[in-house]
Amino acid sequence: MNFKHKYVFLLPGLIVLIGILIFPIIFTVRLSLSGWNSFNPGLDFIGLKNYIRLFTDDPRFWQSFFRLSFLAITTVFLQYIIGFALAHMVWKDIKFKRFFRVLFLIPMMTTPVIMTVIWRTFFHESLGPLNDFLSIFGVQPPWLSSPGLAKVSIIVVEVWQWTSFMFLLMLAGLLSLPKEPFLAAAVDGASPFKKFIYVTFPLMAPISIGAIIIRLIEASKIMDTVFVLTSGGPGTSTETSSFFIFIKGLREFQMGYAATASFTYLIIMIISLTIIVKVLTKVLMRE
Amino acid sequence: MPKLYTFLKYFFVVIWACFVIAPFLWAISTSFKDFNSVTGGATYIPWLQFEPTLDGWSVLFKPGSQGGINIIGPYFNSIFVTLTASLISIVLGTLAAYALSRYTFKAGIVKNNDITFFFISQRIMPPVVLSIPFFIFLSSLGLLDSLAGLILVYIVLLMPIAVWIMVDFFNRVPREIDETALIDGCNPFQAFFKVVLPNSVPGMLVAGLFCIIFGWIDFFFAFILTFTKVQLLPVKIVALNSSITPWWSLSAAALVSVAPLIIVAFIVERYLSKGNLSGALK
């Protein structure tokens, strides 16, 4: 095919994307080498001071990062298990199939911050329905004000919100599977359980990898939920990397330091996602 | 064994359905309460447990001067920004995806997959990382607190989604379609617009739905990059959360704001059942 045409197709999108992003990215790198804060706003040059501070003298950043990893992996794992199970359940014969499918799709269509506002009232210690129900059993857990339960609350909301996305990807995958392997399994008289282990699951492996990676990427940005539900609290017990950067940059106005944290975070994310892709491919694609 | 499985299946599906629907039912019930019914503890059934009022709903449509919240302006802003950014992303994304699917690019070590990855990798970037430089970028362009500025930012958010779905889609559209058109004497543009594009409507619709979803549900950029002149719906509603929380109008506003996208859930399900989505969405 012709040489020039391909650029006419590709370049508009590429140029617009790079055009919008080039300044922010370069600026972040430059900002991370400056001491811009509210007392001293300006692009001075302080070398790697911010990076040294981040790597040697800021446990809070690393704690927020590990907390994020924990939350992201836990929620995506739960979403995958539940999403796949639900998709498998409404894949074939079930009454009210279409009703359940629509219902299970709805959470991902709702705005996370807005639903989290509702969830916050839901988890309210004395006025919310959850504790109203639990008071039958004589307990009233402080859902949002104890460090452990606050994490549980965030996981519940994230799983509620995004299992539907996993469900959609897995159901679309199941519906696109070829029929022949299932017929062969039926001829062999395989039990439903064996059918799942030996036919469905291997066939779904590439789709599973794709879905898990997409969700991990999105989950690593957990921010809206934390922002509304707990504001990182109590203390810093639910602070994630995004929220840490938000506090440093846009609340304490340590712009330079926030940029350092952002840039470091991005590099770590790109490296760890690459590793995760490799590992997942190895584990799930095993014959 | 099959009986046990069927039982478990229905059990689990019904439990999950209750979980999905619970916050909505709670919000609907709360939206008809007033101060006393909210602070008196959790109640659920109107008339029986509390006296319903329409205050929570009527306040949404009053202007701010009468103590209202007036979400109509933000509502239209949200719709406008989401649709415009989605449209631009789909157009640019579809063109780029077509190029990446049909032609071979090579510049040094950069190949097609790397360019595709570059597009998609923009989703890795947390909004907060971009929000600080975008703030300065937009203020230097005089686009802070404006619809145009938001649209610009949303394109970065949405184009990766469009490219991701469309590359996958075009890879499934048989190449023979374009080749036949080229043999028939079309130039590559004619082949694309006259032959390939009409066959790509399902893919573009799916990409469009996804762009609309992810544009509509964004909060953070709107939160950082707009103040008073332009307000989007999520920001307006979350702002209610910070003051002495009026749970009733909060719930009503939340329900109004999530309503339009619930229609999208029906459309997506239709596509799934007809088998069109599975092709466009791997």
Number of domains in chain B: 2
Which residues make Cβ contacts (< 8 Å) with residue A251, sequence separation at least 6? none
pLDDT at res. B248: 84
When pLDDT is averaged across residues A250-278 and rounded to a whole number, the result is 87
- Sign of the dihedral defined by the CA atoms of residues A87, A89, A94, A99, in that order: negative
Q: CB A6 to CB B103 under 8 A?
A: yes
Residue A86: closest CA among A68, A108, A70, A69: A108
CB < 8 Å to B42, chain A = 127-129, 131-132
Same-domain pairing of B48 and B75:
no
Unique residue bearing structure tokens 């039912």? B25
CB < 8 Å to B247, chain A = 121
Number of DSSP helices (H) and strands (E) in chain A, helices first: 13, 0
CATH superfamily entry for domain A59-284: MetI-like (1.10.3720.10)
Q: Tally the C-alpha atoms within 13 A of residue B38's C-alpha that lie toward its C-beta.
A: 24
CB < 8 Å to B232, chain A = none
Share of chain A above pLDDT 90, in %: 21
Residue B282 has pLDDT above 50, yes or no: no
Residue A286 has pLDDT above 80, yes or no: no
Chain A, chain B: beta-carbon pairs less than 8 Å apart: 260
CB < 8 Å to A98, chain B = 269, 273
Find the CATH number of the domain harbouring B200. 1.10.3720.10
Q: Tally the C-alpha atoms within 13 A of residue B129's C-alpha that lie toward its C-beta.
A: 28
Please list the residues that pair with B111 across neighbouring strands.
Answer: B106
Q: CB B128 to CB A107 under 8 A?
A: no
Q: CB A106 to CB B213 under 8 A?
A: no
Q: CB B26 to CB A129 under 8 A?
A: yes
Cα–Cα distance, A50 to A256 (Å, whole number):
8
Please give the radius of gyration of chain B, using alpha carbons only, rounded to the nearest integer: 24
CB < 8 Å to A144, chain B = none
pLDDT at res. B175: 83
- Higher pLDDT pick, A286 / A41: A41
Range of the domain at B14: 2-53
Which of A64-68, A238-242, B166-170, B181-185 bottoms out in mean pLDDT, i.e. has the lowest?
B181-185
pLDDT band at A35, cuts 50/70/90?
Answer: confident
* φ and ψ at residue B112, rounded to 5 degrees: -50, -50
Average pLDDT, chain A: 86
Same-domain pairing of B77 and B180:
yes
Residues A151-170 pLDDT 10s: 999 999 999 999 999 999 89
pLDDT band at B155, cuts 50/70/90?
Answer: very high
Residue A88: closest CA among A194, A5, A22, A170: A170
List the beta strands (DSSP E) in A116-180: none
* φ and ψ at residue A105, rounded to 5 degrees: -85, -20
CA distances from B73 to A246, B63, B218, B245 (A): 28, 10, 17, 21
Residue B83 has pLDDT above 50, yes or no: yes
Q: How far is B269 from chain A (nearest CA, A)?
A: 6
Give me the residue from B21, B100, B133 closest to A28, CB to CB: B133
Q: Are B205 and B152 in contact (CB under 8 A)?
A: no
Same-domain pairing of B34 and B110:
no
Within-domain flag for B65:
no
- Higher pLDDT pick, B59 / A242: A242
CB < 8 Å to B257, chain A = 111, 114
Q: How far is A89 from chain B (nearest CA, A)?
A: 6
Question: For residue B210, what is the nearest residue in chain A, using CA coordinates?
Answer: A109
Same-domain pairing of B180 and B264:
yes
When pLDDT is averaged across residues B109-137 and rounded to a whole number, the result is 83
Pseudo-torsion of CA B109, B111, B113, B115, nearest 10°?
Answer: 90
Residues A80-137 pLDDT 10s: 999 999 998 888 877 888 889 999 999 988 888 889 988 988 888 878 888 888 888 8
Same-domain pairing of B91 and B6:
no
pLDDT at res. A154: 92
List the beta strands (DSSP E) in A132-189: none
Q: CB B21 to CB A171 under 8 A?
A: no
Cα–Cα distance, A257 to A72 (Å, whole number):
24
pLDDT at res. A21: 85
Within-domain flag for B64:
no
CB < 8 Å to B41, chain A = 126-127, 132
Share of chain A above pLDDT 70, in %: 98
- Start-to-end CA distance of chain B, whole Å, equals 32
When pLDDT is averaged across residues B275-280 and rounded to a whole number, the result is 54
Residues B158-200 pLDDT 10s: 999 999 888 888 888 888 888 888 888 788 888 888 888 888 8
Helix (H) or strand (E) holding B107: strand B106-107
Q: Are A195 and A185 in contact (CB under 8 A)?
A: yes
Cα–Cα distance, A267 to A248 (Å, whole number):
19
Q: CB A255 to CB B122 under 8 A?
A: no
Please list the residues that pair with B46 across neighbouring strands.
Answer: B50
Q: Are A176 and B35 in contact (CB under 8 A)?
A: no
Same-domain pairing of B121 and B150:
yes
Cα–Cα distance, A281 to A2 (Å, whole number):
36
pLDDT band at B13, cuts 50/70/90?
Answer: very high
Compute the C-alpha angle A268/A83/A212, nearest 5°. 25
Within-domain flag for B105:
yes
Q: How far is A73 from chain B (nearest CA, A)?
A: 15
Evaluate the omega torsion of the peptide bond into residue B63 and state whether it is cis, within 30 degrees of 0: no
